[in-house]
Amino acid sequence: MITIPNQSSIPKVFLEFNDDNRMQLSPLYQSIVDVCEELVKFTWLTRGRADYATVTVTVTVSNLIGFDVVGCQ
């Protein structure tokens, strides 16, 4: 499973928005921007590599020997 390495939470997020329904500039806002930036970079780095990143040794061995090691069938 692939997860983003950086995550953030904002306590009482409903207090962080102005009358125009935009998040106010603050350290919390910058934290969200940083997380989004990292998510975009991580997405570009991992795009097209799902086969490599999601196949385990157990699945590889199962395919090689023709036996379901995980389900033992």
Q: Would 28 be classed as within a structural domain?
A: yes
The pLDDT assigned to 30 comes to 92
The pLDDT assigned to 65 comes to 79
Q: Would you say the pTM of this structure is higher than 0.85?
A: no
Q: What is the mean pLDDT of residues 55-61?
A: 73
Spatial contact of 8 and 31, defined as CB atoms under 8 Å apart: yes
Range of the domain at 49: 13-65
Domain count, the chain: 1
pLDDT tens figures, 1-53: 566 667 778 888 889 999 999 999 999 899 889 988 988 888 888 888 777 77
Q: Would 44 be classed as within a structural domain?
A: yes
d(CA 27, CA 12): 14
